Amino acid sequence: MTDVSLPTTRSSNPFAGLMSGTVGPVVVVVSAILAIWYMAAVALNTPFQQEIYERASQTDVPLSQLVTDTLAQERPVLPAPHQVVVEIWNTTVEKKITSKRSLIFHSGITLSSTLLGFLIGTTLGILLAIGIVHSRVLDKSLMPWIISSQTIPILAIAPMIIVVLNAVGISGLLPKALISTYLSFFPVAVGMVKGLRSPEVIHMDLVHTYSASRVQAFWKLRLPYAVPFLFTSMKIGMAASLVGAIVGELPTGAVAGLGARLLAGSYYGQTIQIWSALLMAAFLAGSLVALIGVLEKQTLKRMGMAR
């Protein structure tokens, strides 16, 4: 981000510098979103609250009480942010990890299949990319199918894959991980193909003049060039495999995992539970991607490629 603010404006207004970076605007936008959320929560929950008042034949309720009541319903149409935060606190810190009601327990299950799927998917993607870069036939025959494989809505078949694999006796982590694999191999394969081809002709020629074999050219030139691409696509792949794991948990009859929490919440109208599972998933995705970001930074620094 370019952070150029003229010294004259800075001296005239002490807060000008605050708003010219990224942090200031982000904070403002986030608080605007929170404010809109609260207002929407009040607006959306009011009709039901009025019904309650009517039933209790309370006629003139002051506005302040209406607002506090709408923000404290048990099954609101839209829960207020603090309700969700309290629910998350209650289901993570207050509960034992082994408890079925602990959100950490469910996140752990989702996380494990996400990571397994991500690992298999990344490995598969890298291997495919290596094959495609080194073989003309694979490039011509496989590449179009890799691209069109993603136009198949795999998430739509996810339930069937899981039910069918369960029927054969493969259950637990692997079926969910396979869906994550399918989603995460694609960005890695495409990114790695691009990365492995990114050395310029002049560099490839140089390696040729050293009479390097294809294996040596791969390890010493192509692979280092592909590393930044690998990390970028791993971030996308990680986000995709979390989605895969969550959707993969939908059809297992809502046993465990964040997806199961979503489904159970929607069955029983537990909106707070849905939102807390959703926020937890968002947190998980954010931290996994951030983790890869940290790894990327460290690796690129060690390789002397830091930007």
The answer to whether 51 touches 69, Cβ cutoff 8 Å, is no
| Smallest separation (angstroms) from other proteins to the CB of 292 | 10
CA-based nearest residue to 270, from 56, 91, 47: 91
Residue closer to other proteins (CB basis): 61 or 161: 161
What's at 60, amino acid-wise?
Answer: D
CA-based nearest residue to 207, from 197, 222, 215, 217: 217
Compute how many other C-beta atoms are within 10 angstroms of the C-beta atom of residue 12: 9
| Smallest separation (angstroms) from other proteins to the CB of 126 | 21
Residue closer to other proteins (CB basis): 61 or 217: 217
Q: Is 30 in the site for other proteins (CB under 8 A)?
A: yes
Residue with tokens 């795999």: 154
| Smallest separation (angstroms) from other proteins to the CB of 278 | 5
Q: How far is CA 174 from the centre of its chain?
A: 20
| Smallest separation (angstroms) from other proteins to the CB of 302 | 25
| Smallest separation (angstroms) from other proteins to the CB of 120 | 19
Helix, strand, coil abundance in the chain, percent, nearest 5 = 80, 0, 20
Q: How far is CA 73 from the centre of its chain?
A: 30
Q: Is 305 in the site for other proteins (CB under 8 A)?
A: no
Q: Is 136 in the site for other proteins (CB under 8 A)?
A: yes
CA-based nearest residue to 259, from 111, 89, 77: 111
Q: Identify the residue among 12, 22, 59, 211 touching other proteins (CB under 8 A).
A: 22
Residue closer to other proteins (CB basis): 102 or 271: 271
Of 64-103, binders to other proteins (CB under 8 A) are: 77
- Distance from C-alpha of 216 to C-alpha of 194, rounded to nearest angstrom: 19
Residue 22 has phi, psi (to 5 degrees) of: -95, -30
Of 214-253, binders to other proteins (CB under 8 A) are: 235-236, 239, 242-243, 246-247, 250-251
Stretch that binds other proteins, among 83-91, 96-104, 218-226, 279-287 (CB under 8 A): 279-287
Q: Is 17 in the site for other proteins (CB under 8 A)?
A: no
Tokens representing 17 are 């510098």
Q: Identify the residue among 42, 71, 132, 274 touching other proteins (CB under 8 A).
A: 274
Compute how many other C-beta atoms are within 10 angstroms of the C-beta atom of residue 198: 14
Query: What's the chain's length in residues?
Result: 307
Q: Identify the residue among 28, 39, 97, 303 touching other proteins (CB under 8 A).
A: 28
In the complex, the residues that contact other proteins under the rule CB under 8 A are 1, 19, 21-22, 24-26, 28-30, 33, 77, 135-137, 140-145, 148, 150-157, 159-160, 163-164, 167-168, 235-236, 239, 242-243, 246-247, 250-251, 258, 262-263, 265-266, 269, 271, 274-275, 277-278, 281-282, 285-286, 289
